[in-house]
Amino acid sequence: MKLIIISISILFSTISGFAQNRTISNQTNQNNMTTTANFIFPELPYAYDALEPYIDKMTMEIHYSKHFKAYFDNFLKSISGTELEKSDIKTIFSNISKSPVAVRNNSGGYYNHKLFWESMTPNFKDASGPILDAIVKEFGSMENFKNQFEEAAKTRFGSGWAWLCIDANHKLFISSTPNQDNPLMDVADKKGTPLLTLDVWEHAYYLKYQNRRPEYISSFWHVVNWEMVNKRFLDAIK
Ligand code: MN
């Protein structure tokens, strides 16, 4: 009888030990997931062919599933096992000059493309509301704004991005950055919060437009998600 009781109590402690280990292991997994949940591979908010004819299906598919995915994977690899893994993207950008070049290129590649996908929509509507008022106030007219933005995009030598941003004094400005840099990085010439961006790397347009970057740039206006730009503007001036 005594032996049976001892056996049962050993059995119970073994089971409860298992249960405890399982709980600990689940917590560890959850923590790991929370850490990487900072950086989830974002879904494309529309189908690959949704922005036709302005952005063709094949460009969109390769751009998103190959280029963007590679930036994302290499970004996670570049911060793996470092303090930056627990950080958020804006903090990483604010100290990017102190990070290895792989972090700079791939964190930018991740963030810039995510913002770019979300800057476009198949359901185009003209700009309206506070963002339109702010653009007209700053640039004189929507047409002037578009001309200046196109100029920034056309004259970016080599690969990079054109931006509409808002600075710390809530003033709109246009800029461009080389490679995968962006205006949130401490290395940027003009710093601010991005509201709208255009990728002017050749991989973004070459299959359809070849060397005709200006044609790609003027097509962009047909797919800009002004509701999203307006939302970013309102968040920035809160
Ligand atoms: Mn790109």
Distance between CA atoms of 175 and 112, rounded to whole angstroms? 14
Task: Please tell me the distance between residue 199's alpha carbon and the centre of ligand 1 in angstroms.
Answer: 6
Q: State both tokens at 6.
A: 């001892």
The pLDDT confidence band at residue 37, using thresholds 50, 70 and 90, is low
Q: Give residue 36's pLDDT.
A: 55
Q: What pairs with residue 174 in β-bridges? A: 164
> To which H or E segment does residue 126 belong?
none
Output the pTM of the full model: 0.84
Distance between CA atoms of 226 and 131, rounded to whole angstroms? 8
Stretch 90-95: mean pLDDT = 97
Q: Give residue 38's pLDDT.
A: 77
Stretch 120-146: mean pLDDT = 98
Stretch 149-161: mean pLDDT = 97
Q: Average pLDDT over the chain, rounded to whole?
A: 89
Task: Please tell me the distance between residue 28's alpha carbon and the centre of ligand 1 in angstroms.
Answer: 35
Distance between CA atoms of 238 and 234, rounded to whole angstroms? 6
Task: Please tell me the distance between residue 21's alpha carbon and the centre of ligand 1 in angstroms.
Answer: 45
Task: Please tell me the distance between residue 128's alpha carbon and the centre of ligand 1 in angstroms.
Answer: 28
In 3D space, the residue among 81, 112, 75, 97 whose CA is nearest the CA of residue 201 turns out to be 112
The pLDDT confidence band at residue 93, using thresholds 50, 70 and 90, is very high
Q: Is the pLDDT of residue 18 over 80?
A: no
Distance between CA atoms of 140 and 110, rounded to whole angstroms? 33
Distance between CA atoms of 228 and 230, rounded to whole angstroms? 5
Q: Give residue 14's pLDDT.
A: 43
Find the largest Cα–Cα distance for the chain. 94
Q: What's the gap between Cα 34 and its chain centre?
A: 19
In 3D space, the residue among 142, 182, 145 whose CA is nearest the CA of residue 162 turns out to be 182
Q: Is the pLDDT of residue 140 over 80?
A: yes
Task: List domains and CATH numbers for the chain.
Answer: 57-117 (1.10.287.990), 130-237 (3.55.40.20)
Task: Please tell me the distance between residue 38's alpha carbon and the centre of ligand 1 in angstroms.
Answer: 21
Distance between CA atoms of 182 and 167, rounded to whole angstroms? 13
pLDDT in tens, 221-235: 999 999 999 999 999
Task: Please tell me the distance between residue 159's alpha carbon and the centre of ligand 1 in angstroms.
Answer: 9
Question: In this structure, are strands 160-166 and 172-178 parallel, antiparallel, or unpaired?
Answer: antiparallel
Q: Give residue 10's pLDDT.
A: 45
Q: Is the pLDDT of residue 141 over 80?
A: yes
